[in-house]
Amino acid sequence: MEIIKNGIDYFFLVYGIALFICYFFLILFAIAAIHKNKKRSLFLNENDMKGAIDLPSISLIAPAYNEGKSIIINVYSLLSIQYPYYELIIVNDGSKDDSLQQLIAEFKLEIAPFYQSDQHIQHATVIGIYKSTDPKYKHLTIINKQNGGRADALNCGIAYAKTNLVLCTDADCIIEQDALLKMVRPYLEELDKEIIACGGAIGIANDSIIENGILKELKIPKSILARIQVVEYIRAFLLGRMAWHHIDGLMLVSGAFGLYPRSRVLEVGGFDKNTVGEDLELCIRLRSHMEQLREPYEVVYIPETLCWTEAPSTRKVYITQRDRWARGLWETIKKHRQLFFNPKYRTMGMLFFPYWVFFELGAPIVEFLGLICLIVLTVFGLINWPVAIALFVVVYLIGCIFSTAAILLYTVNFKHYAKGSMVIKLLLAAYLESFISHPIMLYAEIKGYFKKIFGIKSTWGTMTRKGFTTK
């Protein structure tokens, strides 16, 4: 009994220490990456490219499903983006509401002649393509298609796009005016490595003021759950992604805001319709493809917040979202399991993918097992409570330090949360995370895994949103 208990103790201790060491190094890499990015951005003034004619053209693809409440304001927001060679493709994914009728009326749309889409990727049947009769909206294309899910709608948009690059986003995202000028920079700077994907930070804009589709005043969300997610996003984007980008190990570009070379996406067959984690899956597939081709490549990340979204503010929606993310992760890891410690895929196979298996997929499982052990050992009276409490305090404080470091890095480098009162609210939210959102997240993740293990069918899930405050 004692041996088993010791074995369990050491397993959790070693796992915890390994995880903290990884996080510690991620912070160091993130600091280095932010510093480097800040220096380089001085020489990449987006004003210099506004008049240039040699910029790569970009299609912004936004799938919309039953977005009738906000579709008009969101399309106006997406149309106001500054970029000289840009087309906006809204893919109406078989909405059951009046989204399409609203779009037709507001933007004076007319059925446009069908043209042959690229045959490399499959998608549900297209019912009609619409273009505006008003020259003001000549960049706008609406594709009306049968319902096939988000990945299918994105594939359809990519197939019909005619540009060098495609930016995949959601119709309900608020994108910064200069976002494309900033996102395209890595593609302009590439020399010896091809950029196969570029992601930008996503911020949370619950309760903020949106005017004409533009974020006018950023506010801290009123709901504590959404507020905690602000910290979570800062930590994930600024510490996590920035660090992975620094060591060429970035495996995920968020589905809400990712820029890809269209030719490469077509080469790999577009987004996978059979997973709910299509963004992670595409990124891993693109990387694997480049590894197989033995061509030098890079997945890059821009630390500036260029896209704003609404985070779930109720427990129910939060669980739905995290359950879906967990299932997406499970499906992707399972699909690409051949990468696991596969030297053919070099560092991706030997280091980055195993990290995702052990610490992204594995962490909720280990935590859940830890809780079970805690209950069992408590029942058998085998817990040394004073030591357990002291250990909890240490682990909690380490978590607080990571969150505080993320907030510090954000405060130093970006202006969004510059007021003292905002920072204090974020810090308090960070310190409450372990007690409020983390247990819910763990529950949702385990629920997602449970569904996958026992083959329980589940869909994307309904993401009911409150909507932004608009003026």
Partner 1 sequence: MMQEQLLYTIALGLVIFLVFLWVVIGYSIIIRQSRYVTRSKIDAFFIQKLSMEYAESNALNVPTHLHNDQTIAIKLNNGRKLQYASSILIRVQDTFYSENDNMIEQVCKESGIYKEINKKIKKQNWYPKAMAIWLSYELDLKSHLTCIKPLISHKNVLVRREAQIGLVRFWGWKSLKILPQLKYPISLWQQIRIIENLMDYFPIPDLTYMNKALETQNPFGIELLIRLIRRFEMHAYKNYVIEQLAHPNKNVSETAIEVLETFDLNADQLYKIENLLTLLPTANQPIRISQLIALQQVPTNKEKQHGNN
Work out which of 66, 404, 458, 469 binds partner 1, going by CB under 8 A.
404
Q: Pick between residue 408 and residue 456 the one whose CB is nearest to partner 1.
A: 408
Q: Pick between residue 398 and residue 446 the one whose CB is nearest to partner 1.
A: 398
Q: Are 364 and 326 in contact (CB under 8 A)?
A: yes
Q: Which stretch binds partner 1 (CB under 8 A): 88-96, 108-116, 358-366, 387-395?
A: 387-395
Q: Rule CB under 8 A: is residue 456 a binding residue for partner 1?
A: no
114: alpha, beta or left? (left if phi > 0; alpha if psi -120 to 50):
beta
Structure tokens, 394: 């240490």
Distance CA 232, CA 225 (A): 10
Work out which of 1, 2, 4, 51 binds partner 1, going by CB under 8 A.
51
CA distances from 123 to 118, 127, 246 (A): 11, 12, 35
Q: Pick between residue 2 and residue 54 the one whose CB is nearest to partner 1.
A: 54
Please report, as a single letter, which amino acid is at residue 426.
Answer: L
Distance CA 17, CA 15 (A): 6
Q: Pick between residue 97 and residue 118 the one whose CB is nearest to partner 1.
A: 118
Q: Rule CB under 8 A: is residue 371 a binding residue for partner 1?
A: no
Cβ neighbours for 352, distance < 8 A, ≥ 6 positions apart: 244, 249, 251
Q: Rule CB under 8 A: is residue 39 a binding residue for partner 1?
A: yes
Q: Pick between residue 4 and residue 191 the one whose CB is nearest to partner 1.
A: 191
Q: Rule CB under 8 A: is residue 185 a binding residue for partner 1?
A: yes
Q: Pick between residue 158 and residue 361 the one whose CB is nearest to partner 1.
A: 158
CA distances from 209 to 31, 82, 127, 264 (A): 31, 21, 36, 38
Work out which of 382, 412, 456, 463 binds partner 1, going by CB under 8 A.
412
Nearest-approach distance from CB 144 to partner 1, in angstroms: 21
Q: Which stretch binds partner 1 (CB under 8 A): 241-249, 388-396, 432-440, 463-471?
A: 388-396
Q: Pick between residue 70 and residue 163 the one whose CB is nearest to partner 1.
A: 163
Q: Rule CB under 8 A: is residue 54 a binding residue for partner 1?
A: yes
Q: Rule CB under 8 A: is residue 136 a binding residue for partner 1?
A: no
Q: Rule CB under 8 A: is residue 377 a binding residue for partner 1?
A: no
The residue to which tokens 């893919």 are assigned: 91
Cβ neighbours for 22, distance < 8 A, ≥ 6 positions apart: 355, 359
Q: Rule CB under 8 A: is residue 43 a binding residue for partner 1?
A: yes
Q: Rule CB under 8 A: is residue 162 a binding residue for partner 1?
A: yes
Q: Which stretch binds partner 1 (CB under 8 A): 15-23, 79-87, 218-226, 279-287?
A: 79-87
Distance CA 197, CA 171 (A): 20
Residues in the interface with partner 1 (CB under 8 A) total 51
Q: Rule CB under 8 A: is residue 345 a binding residue for partner 1?
A: no
Work out which of 111, 133, 138, 338 binds partner 1, going by CB under 8 A.
138
Work out which of 408, 428, 456, 463 binds partner 1, going by CB under 8 A.
408
Q: Which stretch binds partner 1 (CB under 8 A): 53-61, 209-217, 345-353, 357-365?
A: 53-61
Strands 165-169 and 58-64: parallel
Q: Pick between residue 5 and residue 447 the one whose CB is nearest to partner 1.
A: 5
Work out which of 381, 387, 455, 459 binds partner 1, going by CB under 8 A.
387
Work out which of 23, 29, 137, 187 binds partner 1, going by CB under 8 A.
187
Work out which of 15, 29, 65, 85 binds partner 1, going by CB under 8 A.
85
Applying CB under 8 A, the residues found at the interface with partner 1 are 39-40, 42-44, 48-49, 51-57, 84-87, 138-139, 162-163, 185, 187-192, 384, 386-387, 390-391, 393-394, 397-398, 400-401, 404-405, 407-408, 411-412, 418-420, 423, 427
